[in-house]
Structure 1
Amino acid sequence: MSASEPGLSGRPDRRWLFTFCLAWAGTATALFGPIQILLPNQLEHLAPGDKERALAWVLGAGALLSMIVNPVVGALSDRTVSRSGPRVPWIAGGSLLGLAGLVVLGFARDVVQVAVLWCAVQAALNASWSALSALVPDRIPDRRRGAVAGYVGLSQVVGIAFAALLATVFPGVSGYLACAASLAVLILPLLFAEQRLTRGLGAARRGSDLRTFVAGFWIDPRRFPDFFWAWSTRFLINLSNALALTYTLYFLRDKLHVADAEEGVLLLGGVNLAAIVLSVVLAGYASDRLGRRKVFVIASSLVMAAASAVIAARPSWPVVVACAFVLGIGFGIYTAVDFALITQVLPASDSRAQNMGTLNIANSLPQVLAPAIAAPIVTAGSGYQMLYALSGLVAVGGAILVGRITSVR
């Protein structure tokens, strides 16, 4: 289905792209404000003697649920009939439920309550995330996806940095409320833009019985090997990133003894953002111009691996700041080009959201595994150094696997 096929959408313009980027920034703010600062601080208060395991359990449970929600909502979105198109109901509904969950989450008074509410927030926002992801292959032709993915990646990072700022300036309950308010403000322009594009077009989608619906979640690696290798590459790079970032606040506070760890996270986020701004859009445009994706993914993975290795070898505040910049360069390149690459290996044009949801498991599963892997490592004598070394090795594995893709250069 082309980007302008009747029944799905009109042709997007720069105004639409701007609102699309705002929506990504808002969703990232709502997700990463809690992950970076709010949840670690809340759990440290509720379980001071076992904060690492409590955080691992809460984040892992939320990520496990999101791993299920992503492809299921994607499949439902592909089959949704709505005057607003197949994606808007899920973007709007998921954002509204996620916003409500964030408002309540700040008032949780024990670890179990935090876990239940965070699972609800993760499920809701990942429903929205799944539908948002499908809009790129829905609307953007292959030749422009690198540049668009660059803007999307930049928007996510701006949202993550903004989330750190909000969580630092507004601690505790007020931080959750600030993230919820930001989501509401930033998601609305896209909903109005989608209404404008789909007005009068209808949104008929294919139907299916339950057996066909369930069978659609399995994508045979023998028939679609490039999809499998793209999934595996994304999984490893996201696992590497999650291993490096999950315990950043505790790393600064307990290992490096930074006086104000929250401000340290904010500073690192700013340094990382500056680097990504330099790399993400340029990498997307360069990838489109050259018609090549894999070489950029390989290079970015190796850059990220090198930064993690340096932190493992010389864990100090100046080194971490410098490596945050290097990680930003690598992750900016990766974010732009990987998204474009992945949209080119989707097996079926009429199941884009379902396929993107399956690919997004490669984002969610590392969030389940990383805390479980990291928690026992960081409690060991040289735990954080070992953790960053492992992060670097996993990134190298991603660089190797992307070379197996054959249908994309």
Structure 2
Amino acid sequence: MSTPSAEIPTRAVNHFALSAFWFGTSFHWLLLLLILIPANVSHFVGDAAKGSYLGLLLGTGAIVALVLPPIVGAYSDRVGKRMALLRAGMLINVLGLAVMGGASILLDSFTGYVVYFLGYMIVQFGNNLATAPYTALIPQLVAPEQRGRASGAMAFLQASGQLLGAIAFLVVSALKLPALASFALVAVVLFVAASITVRFVPEPPPVQREQGEKLSVWQLFTFNAFLWVFVTRVFFSLGQYSVQPFIQFYMGDVLGQRANAATLTSVMLVCIIAGSVTTALTAGRFADRFGRKPVIYVAGTLMATCALLFLVAPNLPVALALAVVFGFGFGAFNSVDWALGADALPSAKSYARDMGVWHVAAVAPQLSSAPQGFLLDWGNGRGDNLGYVLVFGLAAAFFMLGVILVRNIRNVR
């Protein structure tokens, strides 16, 4: 496995500066994917087709996120640039947010959806242009024995960004601020977080990137660790994206909270994230000491169990309690996920490209949002919330497949 080419100091403050941009992107994606986009799509197309049009939007955006990172990562490895691409991508991302925000308040019906759709594609392009080189920094700058802690710091900041995003939406809703305020807030947080990382994380010297044998993309998958880390991440991401885009719909249709579905979705997210914050840092340290696999076994089983129990939750308080427990597993999984991916890279010469390929395992499953949206509408059309039974049941199955297949990863504890 690869070794870092230029290590940063191991103090916690350095790990937090390294992962600051993840805080901004987590705040960004939580508000967009789980709150703003579902509500806006429902406004544009109505309840009858909301699942299908939401799935189409997210699935198309996932194609951008699927194709762009390996290409940009390879370019970043070749020219020796990380931070310049991060800055450019962040600015394009903000432009896309402006288009989406404008469409949400100025346009209605299908015309609004089309403009909103285009704005979301700009967001996806900019965000992936920024994150493709950024993903190389943990394997490139952090020693293997410190990667659990660095990944834990990243998971903590991701969870904290999500928590702040959910709370921010509650505040914006309570103050009855215009919808554009949420998009503006997302842009500001993203800009500040990116600025912290660019300011305090060193650009690795280009000469350091020439270490190791250069492998083709297909050769990556001949390495056992990379292959199975990729496959298991696909299954965990499939579990996540089977239900994540539809939480707001679940809140209204299954729990009967239609009048306050968006606000209560934020409350549920706060519960999930509060749980994940409590396990993020501790699980990362545990993984450095005792291994990555035990954390994955426990975390994945916990998430699968909760996915099924959501279907039989009798009321909102029980569902919120389950959300906290799900968060325990989600935080623990995220705390070792990045460390596991970094451990599996076979060559130091192509960190950004290879992390871009590995990142496909998390992004490609977003394409399932389109068929899952159709499945949700199809099942619900047959009554008794059958659509939710199908998508939540699939989520549990995907989580358990991820748990089972982690054991195939060799040379990683």
Same topology, TM > 0.5: yes
For 2:376 and 2:230, the matched residues in 1 are separated by 26
Alignment of 1:130-279 (within 5 A): 130-168=132-170, 169=172, 170=177, 172-194=179-201, 197-198=202-203, 202-204=205-207, 216-221=216-221, 223-258=222-257, 259-279=259-279
- Partner secondary structure for residue 33 of structure 1: helix
The C-alpha deviation readout for 1:90-141, integer Å capped at 9, x for no partner, is 2111111101111121112322222221111012112222222210001111
Aligned partner of 2:282 in structure 1 is 282
Query: Kindly tell me: are residues 171 and 279 of structure 1, through their superposed partners in 2, closer, same or farther at Cα, counting changes over 3 Å?
Result: farther
Amino acid at match of 1:323: L
Aligned-pair CA distance for 1:346: 0.7
Aligned partner of 1:39 in structure 2 is 37
For 1:364 and 1:254, the matched residues in 2 are separated by 27
Aligned partner of 1:128 in structure 2 is 130
For 1:28 and 1:4, the matched residues in 2 are separated by 27
The C-alpha deviation readout for 1:52-91, integer Å capped at 9, x for no partner, is 111111111111111111111111111123xxxx210121
Aligned partner of 2:388 in structure 1 is 384
Q: Would you say 1:104 and 2:94 are equivalent positions?
A: no
Report if the CA contact (8 A) 1:4-1:11 is conserved.
no
Aligned-pair CA distance for 1:13: 4.7
For 1:218 and 1:53, the matched residues in 2 are separated by 34
Report if the CA contact (8 A) 1:301-1:395 is conserved.
yes
Alignment of 1:258-337 (within 5 A): 258=257, 259-290=259-290, 292-314=291-313, 316-337=315-336
Aligned-pair CA distance for 1:4: 5.5
Report if the CA contact (8 A) 1:315-1:385 is conserved.
no
Query: Kindly tell me: are residues 217 and 100 of structure 1, through their superposed partners in 2, closer, same or farther at Cα, counting changes over 3 Å?
Result: same
Report if the CA contact (8 A) 1:166-1:179 is conserved.
no
Which deviates further from its counterpart, 298-307 or 122-131? 122-131
For 2:160 and 2:31, the matched residues in 1 are separated by 12
Aligned partner of 1:407 in structure 2 is 411
Q: Would you say 1:397 and 2:396 are equivalent positions?
A: no
For 2:256 and 2:370, the matched residues in 1 are separated by 22
Which deviates further from its counterpart, 35-44 or 313-322? 313-322
The C-alpha deviation readout for 1:173-212, integer Å capped at 9, x for no partner, is 2211110111111211111113xx34xx7424779xxxx9
Query: Kindly tell me: are residues 93 and 13 of structure 1, through their superposed partners in 2, closer, same or farther at Cα, counting changes over 3 Å?
Result: farther
Query: Kindly tell me: are residues 40 and 118 of structure 1, through their superposed partners in 2, closer, same or farther at Cα, counting changes over 3 Å?
Result: same
Aligned partner of 2:82 in structure 1 is 87
The C-alpha deviation readout for 1:295-331, integer Å capped at 9, x for no partner, is 2112111110000111123363223212111111111
Gaps in structure 2 of 5+ consecutive residues: none
For 1:366 and 1:144, the matched residues in 2 are separated by 29
Identity %: 27
Aligned partner of 1:29 in structure 2 is 27
Which deviates further from its counterpart, 137-146 or 86-95? 86-95
Q: CA RMSD in A?
A: 2.2
Aligned partner of 1:350 in structure 2 is 349
Question: What TM-score comes out, normalization by structure 2 length?
Answer: 0.89
Which deviates further from its counterpart, 91-100 or 11-20? 11-20
Report if the CA contact (8 A) 1:287-1:337 is conserved.
yes
Report if the CA contact (8 A) 2:24-2:190 is conserved.
yes
Which deviates further from its counterpart, 378-387 or 269-278? 378-387
For 1:32 and 1:126, the matched residues in 2 are separated by 16
For 1:187 and 1:352, the matched residues in 2 are separated by 20
Aligned partner of 1:373 in structure 2 is 372
Aligned-pair CA distance for 1:338: 2.0
- Partner secondary structure for residue 106 of structure 1: helix
Query: Kindly tell me: are residues 171 and 68 of structure 1, through their superposed partners in 2, closer, same or farther at Cα, counting changes over 3 Å?
Result: farther
Question: What TM-score comes out, normalization by structure 1 length?
Answer: 0.90
Report if the CA contact (8 A) 1:38-1:167 is conserved.
no
Which deviates further from its counterpart, 168-177 or 22-31? 168-177
Query: Kindly tell me: are residues 370 and 177 of structure 1, through their superposed partners in 2, closer, same or farther at Cα, counting changes over 3 Å?
Result: same
Report if the CA contact (8 A) 2:5-2:209 is conserved.
no
For 1:177 and 1:28, the matched residues in 2 are separated by 15
Amino acid at match of 2:182: G
For 1:407 and 1:306, the matched residues in 2 are separated by 29
Aligned partner of 1:55 in structure 2 is 54
Amino acid at match of 1:144: Q
Aligned-pair CA distance for 1:11: 4.5
